[in-house]
Structure formats: C-alpha cells, structure tokens
A and B are shown apart, each in its own frame.
Chain A
Amino acid sequence: MLLIVTYSRGARQTLRNVCSTHGETVVRRFGRAALLAETEFGALLALRLREKHGGDVQIEHTEPFNEFAAVPAAVRDAAAAYENRDAQSTPYAKFATGTDHPAPCDLRDSDL
C-alpha cells in the first residue's frame, strides 16, 4: 500500500479531496494521512499530490504485517508473555532477565 502523509493545510485539503473523489482507491483515511491501494492509479494520485505540494507530502511504501511470517517465534512469545505478566509495573528489560525471552538490546540490534 502507499502511505501518504501531509504536512501543510493545503496538502491536507487536497488529500481530503482526493479521498472523497477516489474512495475506491483509498484503503484507510486518517486525519492528515491516508493509505492508498497499491495500484498505478494509487501511485498517480500520490505523485500528483507530491507534484502539487512538494515536500509537504510524504509517500511511503507499506505492506501488511504478518507476524507469523516476519517475526521470530521468540519475539512473538515474549510479547504475549510480557502482556500477561503478573506485575504491571515490571519493565520489559527486568521481565526478560533470567528467562528465555530476548533482551531488549538484542531486539534493537536485530532487523526484522
């Protein structure tokens, strides 16, 4: 999908107009951002916005997130275990110490 983020009132207004005119291409609308379908038409709309508003329009390529395909089981298990922890106040780093769960610094250094 194409993520469009706007950074000026003019760009935000144009994005609003685009979204209301081309609803079929809009996957999701947020305040000043929108996700467009990954079609050439979606790209046309995104590029038109950038042509008109320059640096006030950010376009990013996104894909749906599948944690079962993209994330190691250890990370998924750690997330589940941490959210089900007994003491709500325990920070993750402390929670992970002395367990098989990965340490936060290791997680930070590992790209998905």
Chain B
Amino acid sequence: MRVDRDGAVRRGRAVDLREAAVDAAAAERAVREGTWVSCLEPGPIHDRVSPVEPGMALSVRAALADAARTRDVAAPQDDALAGVRAELAALDPPAVDCAEARRRVAEAGEREAALAERVSELRGKLTALEERGDDADDARAEREAAVERLAEVRTERIAAEQALSQARDRAREARDARARRLRLEDRAKNLRRDARDHLAASVRDAFAAAVDAVPGRGEVGEAGEFAGDPVTAALAVVRVANVDAPVVLACDRFESAAAAAERLDAPVLRV
C-alpha cells in the first residue's frame, strides 16, 4: 500500500496515520476510492469489518461467510443459486395495469344508469301528456333521442367490459410471471442463507483459534456463535480471511501498526 497524505508518502503493509489525525470513515473511503491510498481492490469482507472501531456493528456469521469466500471455500448451494439468479435476470414480468379499462367500464356504467333513469322519466312524462290529450310530439322526440343515446352508451359499456376482460386475461399471465419471480427470490434468499451457514461453519475452528490469537475478549460456541466484543470478532475475522486491501484500525489493541499487520496477517492502516 502507498499512502500519500499531507505531502508525505508512506509505504508498506502497515501504515500508522495517528499523527495525521484522520478519522476512520475518511480512511476507509480513501481505501475504497483510491484517492490518497493506493492499494489492491477491497472485497466484500471490507464492508463487514472495516473500519474496526469500538461500538461497531458486526454480523459475525455473514462476515465469516465472506471470510471463507476469500479462502476459496465454495458452498454446495452455489450452483443452484447461480441458476436461480440467471433465471431471475431473464424474467421480465410485463406490466399489469387495467386502471384505464376499469375507469372506462365504471364511467360507461354510470352514464348508462343515468340515461336509463332519464328514459323512464321521459316515458312517464309522455304518458301523462298523452292521457291529458296534450301535444306530446316534443316529449316523444326527446324520449326517442334519449333511447337512442342509451343504446349507444350501452354498446360502449359492453365494449369497455370486453376490453377490461381482455386486459384481465393479460394481467393474469403477467401475475403468473410475478408470482414465479417471487418464488425465485424466496428460493434465492434461502439458498444464500444456507450457503452462508455452510461457509461460516467451514471456518468455525479457524475463527475460534483466531479469537484466541487476537487481543481482546470473546468466545466461540459449539455452533460457531460468538459471545464478546465485536472488535475482537472483527479482528479475528480479518485474521481468518485472506485480505488484500488494508483494513482500517481505529482501536487500541496493538502496540503498533506493524504488530497488528503481523498478528492479523493483513495490511492495516492505523488511524
């Protein structure tokens, strides 16, 4: 690693930046973005453990699974998971939107009901006029016009219903695809979890040994569960993993950056 900061260049597997008063997050960013730290590309393990600092949150099992990956451990679920992911990538469920068709049906239905009411009103009016012997020609014409409009609107409503029914058939197929996507996503999640458990278990003993080897308190149970300080767990994970990019250390566990790099068997950037 090469650290170019404040006009000074430092090189090596262990760089101490305590004098430079850099905060841990800024150092981690520099490792990631290569701004003033030149080093190998950080991997997923960095997202888990770096920077190592008091109060850090660490998902030990997930970190150990990533650590196992750096040691080229494979999980029996890998092939199935790759298959599921490929299938998911190829799946592109079409849109399911019948809103416009529903709106047309509802509006045509309302117009039809209003017109039907109007037609019966006019019929009543016409009957009354005829019974009284008054001139009913206008009322008759008005009613006929309304009946005609009603027939038109009824046709429109029926067409709208047919369109909606077709849209629903298409939506059903699209939903089948969506249901399939959901099942695949659930399967991918289960496979990922099983793979993670397998990978974490594969380095359980190495992790227990690492917890004993790094400074700090912590215990590893039979099932690989960790009880203790997350900083201890993070350091042990680093020791277990094959780490290429420098891990940012913001904890007082080692005498020097060099001692840390040696104990963790990883490049370190002490801040």
Task: Name A's B-contacting residues (CB within 8 A).
Answer: 5, 7-9, 12, 32, 54-56, 58
Contacts A55-B96, A55-B97; A9 near B182 (Cβ below 8 A): yes
B97 close to A12 (CB less than 8 A): no
CB-CB under 8 A from B185, the residues of chain A are 8-9
Measured between C-beta atoms, what is the minimum distance from A54 to chain B in Å?
7
Measured between C-beta atoms, what is the minimum distance from A96 to chain B in Å?
29
A75 to B35, CA, bound (A): 78
Task: Name B's A-contacting residues (CB within 8 A).
Answer: 93, 95-97, 171, 174-175, 178-179, 181-182, 185-186
B95 close to A32 (CB less than 8 A): no
A55 close to B178 (CB less than 8 A): yes
Contact with A54, one of B97, B179, B181 (Cβ below 8 angstroms): B97
Contact with B182, one of A7, A54, A58 (Cβ below 8 angstroms): A7
B181 close to A58 (CB less than 8 A): no
Give me 10 other A-B pairs in contact (C-beta within 8 A), A8-B178, A54-B95 excluded. Answer: A7-B93, A7-B175, A7-B178, A8-B182, A8-B185, A9-B186, A54-B96, A55-B96, A55-B97, A58-B175
CB-CB under 8 A from B97, the residues of chain A are 54-55
A55 close to B95 (CB less than 8 A): yes
Return 17 A-B CB contacts under 8 Å, by A number. Answer: A7-B93, A7-B175, A7-B178, A8-B178, A8-B181, A8-B182, A9-B185, A12-B182, A54-B96, A54-B97, A55-B93, A55-B96, A55-B97, A55-B174, A55-B178, A56-B178, A58-B171
Measured between C-beta atoms, what is the minimum distance from A50 to chain B in Å?
9
A110 to B125, CA, bound (A): 41
CB-CB under 8 A from A9, the residues of chain B are 182, 185-186
| Chain B residue nearest to A57 in the complex (CB) | B96
| Chain B residue nearest to A7 in the complex (CB) | B178
A56 to B95, CA, bound (A): 9
A7 close to B181 (CB less than 8 A): yes
| Chain B residue nearest to A12 in the complex (CB) | B182
| Chain A residue nearest to B179 in the complex (CB) | A7
CB-CB under 8 A from B186, the residues of chain A are 9
CB-CB under 8 A from A54, the residues of chain B are 95-97
Measured between C-beta atoms, what is the minimum distance from B32 to chain A in Å?
28
CB-CB under 8 A from A58, the residues of chain B are 96, 171, 175
CB-CB under 8 A from B178, the residues of chain A are 7-8, 55-56
